[in-house]
Structure 1
Amino acid sequence: MTDGLTRADVLLKTLAADPSLRGILRALSLGITGVQRGALKLDDMTRPMTMAAATAEDVVAGRPASFSWRALAGGKPADPTDLRRFIEVEPVLDFMALEPGRAATDAIAQTASDLKLGADYQARVRQTGRIPTDDDEFMTLKKDAGLNAAVSLLAVLIILWLALRSARIIFAVAVSLLVGLAISAAWGLFLVGALNLISIAFFVLFIGLGVDFGIQFSVRYRAERHDYPELRTALHSTAVKVGGPLALAALATAVGFSSFLPTAYRGLSELGEIAGSGMIIAFVTSITLLPALLAVLNPPGERHPMGFVQLAPVDRFLELHRIPVVVIIILVVVLASPLLFWLQFDFNPLHLQSPKVESVATFLELRKNPQTAANAIEIKASDLAAANATARRLSALPEVSQTRTLSDLVPSDQD
């Protein structure tokens, strides 16, 4: 850079005296004169003349034109990071909308488009930060919610049909599931006030786990209906045989979700709180509402015994060797438990987001530069001496790559 400024000394003085097109032409003319007199080498003028010619050709052709003094003085094209500029905006947020900052980000994007920054100045405007990132999260969630719900519903319907083979029973289970889901959602909102990106996942968890209670009850009902043709007798026998096991399963599942409660991650803690209580609600609706619906709908009796004939040998094997099977499973769990010490937890919530959206892609690109990295911290000090002392103390930490203060902007050999 110093050599470039030295070579461009006459050029810069001329432009400072007359910063116009006339001044540029006069400066270039002086450069040619210097070459003729031997004060400059022809190679020294090659780059500025080439840059000037390219700019003039772009202007004549009607193309966007620019002339970089930094590139001229530095002797090489400017690095993209040198051309990057940051504008910090504090938008007005609409918390009644799913994406509170979307109006602001759309307005910024529209303004950049109206100004034709890309076409006229080859400039690209990209937005990132807390608000655009959060909005893109909700946008992705909203876009994928329909697909996730449809896939979950289709999978549930297929499982229900394979297990129940009765439209009336399937309808009863579906109604019981939806009622339990509505009650769980209301109870969850009562507990936490509002759902977030993690706790909202309880909808999928409730459908996947809650429907299992209905399937277990209904499958047992079909088996009992084959043995007891009278509907109420079959329902009573079903409740007696599956009530206890289902209660144990619901309690165990709820306790499992309650393990999320002690964490400092609010979303995960709330998910455990809502999903845990939701399992109890799913159990209650399965042993109360579901039998009532079956009594009202009165499905036809079962002519054939339940189960798959091909899997009967598996059932017999498990019944005869249940103790060895349980022992083997316990041994596998015990032997695999030490692997938990190598289990790592990803603390970065950014990895939960799509890297394709603009806000995340921009952030990931900025993170590659140490000056704009996500882990860069700005610390205010009372004066330069205090700032230098803080920098020296932090630079000794192994987690700190580098520290910079205003003192680093002053050359060490400067008088």
Structure 2
Amino acid sequence: MLTEAESLIWDRGHLGRADLTARFLESWIRLVQAAPRRVALVAGVIAVLSLVVAAHGLGFKTDRTDLVDPTAAYYADWAKYEKEFGGESDIIFIIEGTKRSEIVRAIKTLARDLESFPQAFQNVCYRIDLSRLHAKGLYQLPIEDLEAIDSRVKPLTPLLAGGWRFLTLDSALGAALAASSTAIDKQQSLDESGRQKAAAATRLLQSMTSYLYNGRAFRSPWVPLRSPTLGASVAGMPEYFFSEDGKTAIVRAEPIKDTSSLSDFGKSVDLAKRMIDRMEPVFPDLHFGLTGLPVLEADEMISAKRDSTRAMLISLLGVGCLFMVAFRAWRHPMCAILTLIISACWTLGWVTLTVGHLNILSASFIVTLVGLGIDFGILWLSRFESMRGLGLSVAESNRGAATTVGPGVLIGGLTTALAFFTTMATGFLGLREMGWIAGSGVLWCLVGAFTVLPALLVLTKGRVRRCERELVADQPAALFLARRPALVGLLSLLVVIGLATQITKLRFDYNLLNLQSDGLASVEWEEKLVERMGASAWYALSMAETPEEARRLGEEFAALPSVGRVVEVASLIPTDQEKKRPYVAAISKAVADLPTTEQVKKLPPPELAKLTERIEAIAQLPKNVPVSELVAITRLRHAAEETLEAMRRLPLLDQDRRVASFQTRWLEDLFGQLRKLHDVANPEPVGVADLPSALRSRYLSPDGTWLLQIFADASVWDGEPLNAFVREVYSVDPHVTGKPISTLLSLREMTAGYQRSAWLAIGVILLAVWCGVRSWRDSLLAMTPLVLGCLAMFGLMGIASISLNPANMIALPLILGIGVDFGVHVVHDFHASNGTYVLGRGLGRALVLTSLTTILGFASLMTASHRGMSSIGVVLSLGVACCSLAALVLLPALLQLLSRTRVETAVLSFPHGDSSSTSSPSETEAVEAA
């Protein structure tokens, strides 16, 4: 036999003995209340063990490739790159200043410091040693240029073979005079050698004239022996890595992975920061900064951990205070908060055992549990204290809560968990992990609500507050809303429709830098790096099996509109080396034995009188020259006349000194050019061993795979440039990889996963709700707050210019579960009521408090400096507010209108007022009071 109180509990809402869920929960609570101390003790011990397990086994992954499904096609390309080259994990040191020499000194100091910590850094790249490539620079030229150089060197062969001592101004001018005189006497055209001698003598005289007028203005009369394109790909490469204005330089160092740290490169990044701090006092005129993926990810991890911890504390404190104010007590609210903490500990242990780590998406799950898990406690305590206010015992009140709000709590919790679990059907690993962690957390909170909380309530007991009696009466939660349900429903729908029209303004922000903390130094330096040097921590990567393929790919990538530059080393190994080798060998042999500058200076000065006679003879060349040579010989004669005029302007002693100085400068200029040619004329072909080690280790794998880095012309942190860049590089190489590629494709995969999981979640939730209420109409009604709340939320986001981003999209499955949870409780209350439906004050207060605590829990994330985490708080708070308003205002109005049809049907069914089928006023009041 049931006691009177038990009968009252079971009669409320027509639950009856047939409600299996309520009967099961009532039986379960009896078991819990039979041994409350044992339940609380076991729960506490498991919580402590879970914390110990989490402290020793729970990791934190910041690499975004850890969020990607390993079976994805683009991940296979990335895995191949990591296997060949070890990953793109350079720490980038940036140095700013106005004096290049000071920056170079700082670079050398920093590089020396980095190389002194081999346990933390490897492959330090601060300058490029081009000596071996420069020595074989002639191989970089096309064959046509080599032929031209060879043709200029061949006429000098007799001089270079030991006759250089006989090369004087007089001999050079004499050769031109003899060739010109012979052509004039025979009235014949000059041969090729004669024309070259005449042209060389003309340039020589013009240069000499200029020098006679100004002894400091020497102008070389020699035709350049080197091609102007020589060294464009070698000597043109920077020895140090400077920006175009020479005010910014970078140093790269690859950090050593440390598995003992939370972040893979945390210790190396910390050491790098300490090095920067030590450098600043030594070089006070310079500015130092750090960026690169290891730094960005380490800073993001630190920021996320700090922000999530602070948000969790703020959330717990805020929710606890709100809880205590609402219930005007501290004992029972503390039971609910303690239950939540125990459930969170269980979740941490479970996550450690099943997943083993958190990622940047799941780092905030504890904070979300505070907002979600406390809802179960609020609903339970609201009904529990209402039952206590009727004079029921603690045990009876627990059972009453189990049979009345228990099914709604159970269905709401399960639907929320299912909303999370549906994300596990996506291909995005980070989303699957988040779905599993958050869904499991909700279930553990649900377990705590049905075990730990009832046990703690039995143990703490507490006084009965009769003031709660008024809260159990089915008085309208908001009388002014209940009086005009049609008007309230119409106005609410108009507001939702108006907000829904603004959804078109909603945008998606791809830029991951916008998710980082405000004022984060590594982000600011990354933006400077892109702006000043056209470089970035983000670039595409392509691999080739041969240097020929790498060069071809490099040319095709460079031709793309979205590509700014391509970095590769295959082009440093010239093509057609076997065809070029004879020319290089001939040039190398010709310039093998050159006089030194001291030997040139020791040559005897020219005889001024003899030289003057030679110049006068040129000036007196006849004018009856062959027409074909008229211009050349006329120029030669005029040049000689100008030289004689310049000599007459100087005293004889100055003439002798100036002419001797000119001859020395003239010979030094020639042999200087020949030495430069000698420096790049090593006849051995260019091989892999000649590549600078700093480049070879980064762009050529031990297995012989050649790497290309493709930098975008615009910042690929932004959505449109990123999409264009990825689309175009894929057109050249379908296996291209790199952070821009994996990020964009994973974002697309994540977005598609959200869409698929959303539809799946809606179907699963609808089925779960139907299982609880056994009515498709009521199931659809329960989902009304979710649908209308989401429309309103997206519209408000469009109006407020709040963008969706890779971080706050995680809020969507949360809102799915929460929105349905509100609707389930209202529909369950409607299903259990008689007559015209109004939202009772008891449930209304519980739902308001639930939404406030949930919003407060999520709003704590808005205090995060990490903008991605903060945006999660904004979207969650906004979504919960919209869904709760729809559940508290629009849905009750709609149900009130529908319940009038129910009343009319009931009246028509009993037109004669069958007393056996209706309740007396006193009976109705008794039921409603219960």
Aligned match of 1:286 = 449
User: Could you tell me whether the CA contact under 8 Å between 1:395 and 1:401 is conserved in 2?
Assistant: yes
Amino acid at match of 1:205: T
Query: How far, CA to CA, are the matches of 1:146 and 1:272 in structure 2?
Result: 21
User: Could you tell me whether the CA contact under 8 Å between 2:243 and 2:249 is conserved in 1?
Assistant: no
Aligned-pair CA distance for 1:126: 2.3
Whether 1:164 aligns to 2:164 is: no
Whether 1:95 aligns to 2:270 is: no
Query: How far, CA to CA, are the matches of 1:361 and 1:339 in structure 2?
Result: 33
Give CA-to-partner distance per residue, 1:194-232, whole Å, 9 cap, x none.
112221211000011101110111011111111133222
- The residue correspondences of 1:10-409 to structure 2 (distance < 5 A) are 37=214, 82-112=246-276, 114=278, 116=279, 119-120=282-283, 122-305=285-468, 314-318=477-481, 343-369=506-532, 371-373=534-536, 376-377=539-540, 379=542, 381=544, 386=549, 389-390=552-553, 393-394=556-557, 400-404=562-566
User: Could you tell me whether the CA contact under 8 Å between 2:335 and 2:457 is conserved in 1?
Assistant: yes
Q: Which has the higher contact order (CA 8 A, sep 6+)?
A: 2
User: Could you tell me whether the CA contact under 8 Å between 2:398 and 2:454 is conserved in 1?
Assistant: yes
Amino acid at match of 1:91: P
Amino acid at match of 1:106: D
Query: How far, CA to CA, are the matches of 1:211 and 1:226 in structure 2?
Result: 22
Q: Which shows bigger deviation, 326-335 or 227-236?
A: 326-335
SS at match of 1:82: coil
User: Could you tell me whether the CA contact under 8 Å between 1:387 and 1:405 is conserved in 2?
Assistant: no
What is the RMSD of the two structures over their aligned residues, measured on CA atoms?
3.8
Aligned-pair CA distance for 1:326: 6.2
SS at match of 2:534: helix
Amino acid at match of 2:414: L
Q: 1:353 to 1:211 in 2, by over 3 A?
A: same
Query: How far, CA to CA, are the matches of 2:365 and 2:541 in structure 1?
Result: 38
SS at match of 1:277: helix
SS at match of 1:127: strand
Q: 1:366 to 1:260 in 2, by over 3 A?
A: farther
Query: How far, CA to CA, are the matches of 1:206 and 1:335 in structure 2?
Result: 33
SS at match of 1:304: helix
Query: How far, CA to CA, are the matches of 1:189 and 1:151 in structure 2?
Result: 24
Structure showing the higher strand proportion among its residues:
2
User: Could you tell me whether the CA contact under 8 Å between 1:198 and 1:267 is conserved in 2?
Assistant: yes
Query: How far, CA to CA, are the matches of 2:571 and 2:536 in structure 1?
Result: 19
Aligned-pair CA distance for 1:393: 4.5
User: Could you tell me whether the CA contact under 8 Å between 1:391 and 1:403 is conserved in 2?
Assistant: no
User: Could you tell me whether the CA contact under 8 Å between 2:551 and 2:571 is conserved in 1?
Assistant: no
Amino acid at match of 2:250: F
Gaps of 5+ in 1: 1-33, 41-77, 410-415
User: Could you tell me whether the CA contact under 8 Å between 1:94 and 1:101 is conserved in 2?
Assistant: yes
Aligned match of 2:821 = none
Amino acid at match of 1:178: I
Q: 1:372 to 1:299 in 2, by over 3 A?
A: same
User: Could you tell me whether the CA contact under 8 Å between 1:388 and 1:405 is conserved in 2?
Assistant: no
Query: How far, CA to CA, are the matches of 1:162 and 1:113 in structure 2?
Result: 49
Q: 1:199 to 1:322 in 2, by over 3 A?
A: farther
- Give the structure-1-normalised TM-score: 0.67
SS at match of 1:173: helix
Aligned-pair CA distance for 1:120: 4.2
Amino acid at match of 2:255: P
Query: How far, CA to CA, are the matches of 1:256 and 1:155 in structure 2?
Result: 26
User: Could you tell me whether the CA contact under 8 Å between 2:276 and 2:289 is conserved in 1?
Assistant: no
Q: 1:345 to 1:194 in 2, by over 3 A?
A: same
Amino acid at match of 2:398: L
SS at match of 1:86: strand
- Give the structure-2-normalised TM-score: 0.32
Give CA-to-partner distance per residue, 1:314-354, whole Å, 9 cap, x none.
53355566687567656766776676565433344332212
Amino acid at match of 1:86: I
Query: How far, CA to CA, are the matches of 1:367 and 1:87 in structure 2?
Result: 15
How many residue pairs align between the two structures? 335
SS at match of 1:106: helix
Give CA-to-partner distance per residue, 1:72-109, whole Å, 9 cap, x none.
xxxxxx96753433332222233222344333233334
Q: 1:280 to 1:306 in 2, by over 3 A?
A: farther
Query: How far, CA to CA, are the matches of 2:280 and 2:395 in structure 1?
Result: 75
User: Could you tell me whether the CA contact under 8 Å between 2:269 and 2:295 is conserved in 1?
Assistant: yes
Aligned-pair CA distance for 1:128: 1.6
Query: How far, CA to CA, are the matches of 1:192 and 1:288 in structure 2?
Result: 25
SS at match of 1:195: strand
Amino acid at match of 1:276: G
Amino acid at match of 1:272: G
SS at match of 2:377: helix
Gaps of 5+ in 2: 1-210, 218-241, 573-930
User: Could you tell me whether the CA contact under 8 Å between 1:228 and 1:234 is conserved in 2?
Assistant: no
Query: How far, CA to CA, are the matches of 1:264 and 1:118 in structure 2?
Result: 50
Aligned match of 1:19 = none
User: Could you tell me whether the CA contact under 8 Å between 1:198 and 1:271 is conserved in 2?
Assistant: yes
User: Could you tell me whether the CA contact under 8 Å between 2:390 and 2:466 is conserved in 1?
Assistant: no
Aligned-pair CA distance for 1:383: 6.7
Give CA-to-partner distance per residue, 1:370-407, whole Å, 9 cap, x none.
73045543545567765565356446756x24455789
Query: How far, CA to CA, are the matches of 1:408 and 1:294 in structure 2?
Result: 76
Aligned match of 2:593 = none
Aligned match of 2:903 = none
Aligned match of 2:923 = none
